[in-house]
Structure 1
Amino acid sequence: MHDREFYQQEEGLPGMLEIDLIREIEMEADEEWVVDEDAANEVMGPTRRSCPSVYANRRDMAEAEANWVLVDQAPPARNVNGILGLLCKEHFPGLVRKGDQDWEPAWTFDHYALVQDAPDHNGIRCRNKADRVIRELWDFFRIQEGQEESAYQVAYASCKRRVTDLHYESRLQAHIDYNAKFLLRRVNKEEARRMTLTREQYIQAIPSWCATHPDCWEYIVDTWLDGDWQKKHEEARDRRLQMPGVPHHQGSRSLSKYAKAYLDAHGGQPVGQLKAYALAHMGKATADIEYDLDAPLEAYTNSSVHTRLSSYTEAARSVHGPGYDPRTEERLDPQLVMRVGQGKKHGRF
């Protein structure tokens, strides 16, 4: 769908990046099983930037998140998806229109592909804003020769998540910014989730990434104040409040980073995805915890996790034999996860 001929002026991509495409597997709509986003880095020199090499093996493409794994690294560390998030803000296109439909904000990254790009200071023009975001990622990282198409697809999939997060966070950030700037009051995210503003107050709290699109910001604000939107928002909030216990103990870490932190604190053998997932729902990486297949429900901070792990273990043993230990797996088996979790909504893998 997305070819890599996205320049109108060929420049040549810097080499040395291979991309790992993993399936983002969800057992329920509100919680992910696997999100692996290893950090990437850059070094600033006196005359040029030295970019890091990133490596992993490609797997099937199916609503995937990007898994960026470093080949060589040098401080300071940078997160690939974090940079993509910043680029999505920098090139936010505002109101867009598809065919003869009404104008609407760029709610998704697919909307970026509907807007023509303008030449940059080097005179390079991409096909659209989506390609511009992905092209500028290579200002920070190098691609290994022959991996351009894989890199583009992985980055595109990651950008979809970045734009979704952008809109989710913008309302909370508007609450925080308005209180800080106009009321000289500091509020945290927990307080921000419980409050609302008037239309005029939201308009005053326009974020920097939308500052050149005030008409788009007004559209977004009016959406938040719509009765149907508020009803759905409250229903979703009530569902989250009914969750038994905290979701996990990873904090802002990806699952792979939690596994590494656990290994650094406890030593021993490398931690596979299933074990890391279980431990992340038992306690912090530095806590005195160990995953046992027969651990009782009370061992987990969220009781639903016990059911998921038990179902996965039972399914794995039905395939590999009654004595099979799924803790030895480096990665979760996506087919088994599909079987016990029923996949994502709307028939997606």
Structure 2
Amino acid sequence: MPGGSRPRRNTKSIYARAPTPTGIDDEALEVPTSEETRSRRRTARQQLFPSDDVQETGDDSEEEEGEEEEGEEETPGDSTSSGSRKVYQRGITRLPRATIALEHRPVIRPEGSKGWQIVSGGGARSPNGMLGLLIKKHYPGLIELDDGTKVVPWHWSDFYKVKDAHEVPIATKIKMEFWDWFTCDEGYEDRASVVQDRAAMARVKDMYYEAHVQVLVTYYADVKLERLPPADAKKMLHYPETDVAKDIYMQFPAEWCKTYMDCWEAIMDAWRTPESYEERRSRIPLP
């Protein structure tokens, strides 16, 4: 009312907390654990979608790109058998289980040297994020050169040197599958192929770098039960004295390399040479 206070409502708010029934102690109330909640959720999904293969990825939603696996933090309430709190880590980002129907695919066109513009059809994943996931999906492990030497495919150009069972270069296969989720704007096809290559070059480089940092982050979280910020993990990689031992690297291979442990060992050995430590220190910004 003008000039006075508002009258009190007699109607109870729907957000008001219900009183605890008489004779029941709050501490005696049984609260479902996070694991029980997840179990009930899986059961409900299986009842709704009995033919759907439900996979646990550690994250209820499919996040954008795997580089986002950084940002670990402690989960209040979770504890190990020894009483120490576990350290939360984001789940692994995976490709969608099904491709997008042609009529529903977002239309994109290349923009800049390695970017994309969404012309129509919003709500899609990042095109370069999808490209990164496809690179991990089709990672070939060690590749054999013409002279018989087996090497790590450090560069995107190496993905052109190995072929699948149908004699299609892996790089070409990745670029073709990319269009299962997008449609190229008419007239931009040639330019789009160039942008795919340039974006893939950066994605391969980032993939190795992120996997290197993630070894230390995961080791500290799973074994030492400590949160190691990625920024601190990167600093530890500058010197062999602060880096982790070889056997620890072998315990925590990147998801995309778990079936190629000989390749993972070759990657790890390359990371741990004196030249590699020196090269990483050379990238430290000057004060």
Which interval holds the TM-score relative to the shorter structure? 0.5 to 0.7
In structure 1, which of residues 181, 204, 210 is the aligned counterpart of residue 222 of structure 2? 181
Change in 2 beyond 3 A, CA 1:181/1:126: farther
> After superposition, where does 1:89-238 map in structure 2 within 5 Å?
89-100=136-147, 102-118=149-165, 125=166, 127-195=168-236, 196-237=243-284
Backbone CA RMSD of aligned residues? 2.5
Change in 2 beyond 3 A, CA 1:49/1:180: farther
TM-score, normalised via structure 2 length: 0.59
The residue type equivalent to 1:150 in the other structure is R
Deviation at 1:48, TM superposition (A): 7.3
Counterpart of 1:322 in structure 2 is none
> After superposition, where does 1:197-346 map in structure 2 within 5 Å?
197-237=244-284, 240=285, 242-243=286-287
Aligned partners of 2:115, 2:211: CA distance in 1, in Å? 25
Aligned partners of 1:219, 1:109: CA distance in 2, in Å? 18
Counterpart of 1:80 in structure 2 is 127
Instruction: Determine whether 1:55 maps to 2:102.
Output: no
Per-residue Cα deviation, 1:18-55 (whole angstroms, up to 9, x for no partner): xxxxxxxxxxxxxxxxxxxxxxxx9x999777111113
Identity, in percent, stands at 30
The residue type equivalent to 2:197 in the other structure is Y
Aligned length: 185
Change in 2 beyond 3 A, CA 1:203/1:56: closer
Deviation at 1:102, TM superposition (A): 2.8
In structure 2, the gaps of 5 or more residues are: 1-95, 237-242
- Contact 2:132–2:204 (8 Å) recurs in 1: yes
Aligned partners of 2:101, 2:231: CA distance in 1, in Å? 44
* Higher CA-based Rg: 2
- Contact 1:65–1:157 (8 Å) recurs in 2: yes
Moved over 4 A (4+): 44-49
- Contact 1:126–1:132 (8 Å) recurs in 2: no
The residue type equivalent to 1:185 in the other structure is E
The residue type equivalent to 1:53 in the other structure is V
Aligned partners of 2:175, 2:100: CA distance in 1, in Å? 26
- Contact 1:116–1:129 (8 Å) recurs in 2: yes
Deviation at 1:181, TM superposition (A): 2.0
In structure 1, the gaps of 5 or more residues are: 1-41, 58-63, 119-124, 244-349
Per-residue Cα deviation, 1:289-321 (whole angstroms, up to 9, x for no partner): xxxxxxxxxxxxxxxxxxxxxxxxxxxxxxxxx
The residue type equivalent to 1:194 in the other structure is K
